Amino acid sequence: MKTLVFLTFTLLSATGASAQKNSTRPNIIYILADDMGIGDARCYNPSGKIATPNTDKMAARGMRFTDAHSGSAVCTPTRYGILTGRYSWRSRLQSGVLNGYSPPLIDSARLTVPQLLKNNGYSTGIIGKWHLGMTWAMNGKTPDFTQPLRHTPLSNGFDYYFGISASLDMPPYVFIENDQLTEMPTDTVVAKQYPNTRPGPKGPGFVFEHALQTMANKTQAYIQDHKQHPFFLYLALPSPHTPLAAGAAFKGKSGICNYADYVMETDWLLGQVMTYLEQEGLVDNTLLIFTSDNGYAPYAEYDKLKAAGHDPSAGFRGNKADLYEGGHRIPFLVQWPGKVKPGTVNAATVCLTDLMATCAAIVGKPLPPDAGPDSFSLLPLLQGRNKQYKRTSTIHHSISGHFAIRQGDWKLLLSPGSGGWSEPRDPAARKQGLPERQLFNLRTDKAERHNLQASEPAVVARLTALLQELIDKGRSTPGPVQSNDVAVDMRKEKS
C-alpha cells in the first residue's frame, strides 16, 4: 500500500565516532513512506504545492532516481520484495494485500536483507508498519492478545521490532514491541468513528495522530543505542496513507487538505532522522534511502489536491493499484557522503527489490544461489558506474494480479485497462472493446496514451516471451532456475 524509504551514511562526531570511524561498513537506514506519490516531493515536481524541504535537501545532498519502481502497485507485495529481493508474485500472494491478522508471508527459511546484514555483523531493527503477517495466538476464533506473537519480524532477521501489524487503517490498533503488545486493546473502533479506518480493537493509549511522533522517538532511541556498531534500520512509515492522521503541529499547515498535511509530517520525520544522525556524528558513515511503497492513493482527497493545482503523480498516468506508471513509479533518494556525489540525478530503471543485492555488495559477500532472485546491486549506480548496473528489465504487478514488463523505453501491459483502480478498469475496458494488450514507448509517451500494440507486433511478442521466461525461471537474475511457490498465471484475461 504505501510507504517511503531512506539509507544514510554518518558524519562522525565524538559520540559514536570512535567505534565507527574506521569501519568500512556503513549504517543503513531505509525509510519507506506509505502511498506517497512521486509528485508529492517537490524535488520531483517543481510545480507541486506541498512543501517538502527535507526530501529536497536530501536530493541536493545525494542522488535522485527518476525511474524508480516499487515491486508492486500496492503495499504488502512491495514490502515482501524489499526484504527478500524477490517479486512477491512468486509467493502465494497473487493479488491484493494482507490484513492485520494475516499469517506470515515470508518463509522463515528465506534469506532476508536484515538476516544478510545480521550475518555480517550488523544490528537490525524495524520501526513502523510490518504488513507481512504474523501468527497470533487464538482463543477459539478470537486473537488472544495476552499471548506472545510468533513469526514476527524477529523471525526474519530483525533483532528489534516496534510498530503496527499492518496499515494504520487496519486493526488491531495497538503497538507491538518485539513479540508482545505494548498494551491490551480494550477499546474498540466502531464503523465511521475514525474516517477511513476499519472497525476493530484499539489500545486505550493508541492515538492515530501520535503515530509519527512515536516512531520518531523510537528511531532516535534506536540510533543512540546502536551508534557504536554498524546497524540496519528499516523505518516503515504508516504515512501519508489513510486515515490521514497528521499530528497537531501539522493540522492545516499545508493550507490544502489533510493529505497534504500528512505529507508534510512525513517529510518532517525524514528531517528528524537526518538531525539524529548529525547529532550522533553518523552522517558520513550512513547510507540513507527514502522511498515509497507505491504511488498515490486516489481516495486520499484527490479533488482537493487537484483544486490546489497539485498532481501527486507528477504527470504520469494512474495511481496506486495500477499497472500505469502512477501506480509504481516512486520517489527514490539516496544520501551517502563520500560515496554518492551530491546533487546527482540518475535515470536508470531501478526497483525496490534491488536492496538485497546492494547490501550484499556493500558487505562484500555473494548471495546464495536461491537468495534475491530479482535483486540487482545499485552500488555501481551510486558510485557513478552506470554501465555496470545489470538490470535489463523490470516486471510490474497490479492489485488484481495483472502483469506488465518494462525493457528500455518499451512497456507492455497484459491488461486492457489499468489493472487497478484508474479508469478504465479492466471490465469497462473490455466492454469498450479495447485490446487485451497495451504497448507504450515511455520515451515519447510518458502519459501512456498511445497504445502501439497493433503497430509493433514484434515488440509485443518479444516482451511477452521475456515475461513468460522470467516467470518460468523463478528469477530475473543470472543463476540456477528457482521454483515459484505457486503456479503463476501471466495472462488473467477473464479477471
The verdict on pTM exceeding 0.85 is: yes
183 shares its domain with 281: yes
Whether residue 81 sits in one domain with residue 228: yes
Per-residue pLDDT, 21: 53
Q: Judge if 252 and 276 occupy the same domain.
A: yes
Question: How many structural domains comprise the chain?
Answer: 2
Question: Do residues 440 and 369 both lie within one domain?
Answer: no
> What is the model's pLDDT at position 368?
97
On whether residue 486 sits in a domain, the answer given is no
The C-alpha atoms of residue 334 and residue 110 are separated, in whole angstroms, by 27
Say if residue 235's pLDDT is above 70: yes
Sheet with 438-441, side-by-side order of all strands: 394-397, 403-407, 410-413, 438-441
pLDDT at 271 over 70: yes
CB 403 within 8 A of CB 396: yes
Which residue segment(s) compose the domain that 440 sits in?
394-473
SS (H, E, C) the chain: CCCCCCCECCCCEHHHHHHHCCCCCCEEEEEEECCCCHHHCCCCCCCCCCCCHHHHHHHHHCEEEEEEECCCCCHHHHHHHHHHCCCHHHCCCCCCCCCCCCCCCCCCCCCCHHHHHHCCCCEEEEEEECCCCCECCEECCEECCCCCCECCHHHHCCCEEEEECCCCCCCCECCEECCEECCCCCEEECCCCCCCCCCEEECCCCCHHHHHHHHHHHHHHHHHHHCCCCEEEEEECCCCCCCCCCCHHHCCCCCCCHHHHHHHHHHHHHHHHHHHHHHCCCHHHEEEEEEECCCCCCCCCHHHHHHCCCCCCCCCCCCCCCCCHHHHEEEEEEECCCCCCCCEEEEEEEEHHHHHHHHHHHHCCCCCCCCCCCCCCCHHHHCCCHHHCCCCCEEEECCCCCEEEEECCEEEECCCCCCCCCCCCHHHHHHCCCCCCEEEECCCCCCCCCCCCCCCHHHHHHHHHHHHHHHHHCCCCCCCCCCCCCCCCCCCCCC
pLDDT surpassing 60 at residue 329: yes
Q: Which three cell numbers stand for residue 144?
A: 488472544
**Last residue within a domain, chosen from 388, 407, 439:** 388
Q: Which of 7-21, 125-139, 140-154, 270-284 has the lowest mean pLDDT?
A: 7-21
Residue 43 lies in a domain: yes
pLDDT in tens, 3-37: 444 444 333 344 444 455 546 799 999 999 999 99
Sign of the C-alpha dihedral, residues 424, 442, 63, 257? negative
Residue 220 lies inside a defined structural domain of this protein: yes
Residue 382 confidence class, pLDDT cut points 50, 70, 90: very high
The answer, yes or no, to whether residue 181 has pLDDT greater than 50, is yes
CA angle 285, 289, 405 (to 5 degrees): 140
pLDDT, position 13: 40
Q: Which amino acid is at 143?
A: P
Give the separation between CA 33 and CA 293, rounded to whole angstroms: 6
Confidence tier at 192 by pLDDT (50, 70, 90): confident
Using the 3D structure, point to which of 388, 403, 431 is the last residue of a domain. 388
Residue at which a domain ends, from 368, 388, 408: 388
Residue 194 has a pLDDT of 87
Query: Does residue 156 sit in the same domain as residue 284?
Result: yes
Residues 222 and 346 in one domain: yes
Residue 230: inside a domain? yes
Residues 220, 131: one domain?
yes
Mean pLDDT of 262-281: 98
What integer is the mean pLDDT of 200-206? 98
Distance CA 25, CA 282 (A): 12
Q: How far apart are CA 325 and CA 198, in angstroms?
A: 29
* Structure confidence at residue 78 (pLDDT): 98
Grid coordinates representing 359 are 547490501
pLDDT in the model for residue 8:
41
* Domain assignment of residue 4, yes or no: no
Q: What is the CATH number of the domain that holds 408?
A: 3.30.1120.10
Per-residue pLDDT at 20: 59
The pLDDT value recorded for residue 3 is: 43
> Is 74 within a domain?
yes
Is residue 98 located within the same domain as residue 30? yes
79 within 8 A of 106, measured Cβ to Cβ: no
Give Cα separations from 476 to 375, 468, 488 (angstroms).
8, 11, 15
Q: pLDDT higher for 76 or 1?
A: 76
Residues above pLDDT 70, as percent of the chain: 95
Q: End-to-end CA distance of the chain, in Å?
A: 21
Based on the domain organization, do 190 and 301 belong to the same domain? yes
Same domain, 196 and 304: yes
Residue 351: CATH number of its domain: 3.40.720.10
CA distances from 151 to 80, 94, 155, 376, 490 (A): 14, 21, 5, 28, 31
The region of weakest confidence among 6-15, 153-162, 267-276 is 6-15
Q: Is residue 215 included in any domain, yes or no?
A: yes
Q: Using one digit for the tens of pLDDT, what is the confidence trace for 336-362?
A: 999 999 999 999 999 999 999 999 999
**Is the separation of the CB atoms in 404 and 490 below 8 Å?**
no
Burial class of residue 343 (count of CB atoms within 10 Å of its CB; 0-12, 13-18, 19+): exposed
Mean pLDDT of the chain: 95
Q: Is the pLDDT of residue 68 over 50?
A: yes
**Are 422 and 363 part of one and the same domain?**
no
| Residue 461 belongs to a domain | yes
Residues 266 and 313 in one domain: yes
Cα gap 124→142, rounded to integer Å: 32
Band of residue 110 on the pLDDT scale cut at 50, 70, 90:
very high
